[in-house]
Amino acid sequence: MATLEILKYPDPRLKQESVEVEHFDDDLQRFLDDLEETMGDGPGAVGIAAPQVGRFQRIAIVDISSKPKLVNHGRMFLINPEIVEWDGLAVGREGCLSVPDYTGNVVRAERIKLRYLDRDGNEIEIDTEGYEARAVQHEMDHLDGMLFVDRVVSRRHDLFRRKHYKQRGER
Ligand code: NI
């Protein structure tokens, strides 16, 4: 396993759209292990997407189980994920390994029905909500070349410098 280098905003490669995975081979399994290790390296990261390490395929990992009180499905390897239904809107704070200096307030669907392939290529469908649904939507944005900073309504009012944010003890 290896830790991969994370592309940081404003690297233009973060705007690239990713393509679907077609082969569930050894190369994919090795990559998933490396991506998992890279996520584990990030402080408190709840997700990571393949394009953040320069691999432009529709792959992400989401795991919010470090916050056990919230609805969660454990560690999910999301391959070719699709949101097939959504409902409700909510504002919440997000951070990103590719945008280490900022957090931001972003509007997301509150509840989603998610369809994806797991790391063995099995089709899975789940319903999720709240923070896990938010993390999934954040990671799926990466697959379309979008960052949370592209989604904030006002960069002046909805983006927060991390240092400032931590000093105020809001975290
Ligand atoms: Ni991110």
Distance 17 CA to ligand 1 centre (A): 14
- Predicted confidence at residue 44, as pLDDT, reads 84
Question: What average pLDDT is seen over the chain?
Answer: 94
Per-residue pLDDT of 84-123, as tens digits, reads 999 999 999 999 999 999 999 999 999 999 999 999 999 9
Residues 6+ apart with CB under 8 A from 86: 109, 111, 112, 113
Distance 163 CA to ligand 1 centre (A): 18
Give the residue numbers marked as catalytic.
Answer: 139
Distance 119 CA to ligand 1 centre (A): 20
Tokens coding 112: 């989603």
pTM metric for this prediction: 0.93
Distance 97 CA to ligand 1 centre (A): 6
Element containing residue 77 per DSSP (H, E)? strand 76-96
Taking a 5 Å cut-off on Cβ, the residues next to ion ligand 1 are 96
Domains, the chain, ranges and CATH?
Answer: 12-161 (3.90.45.10)
Rounded Cα gap, residues 166 and 2, in angstroms: 30
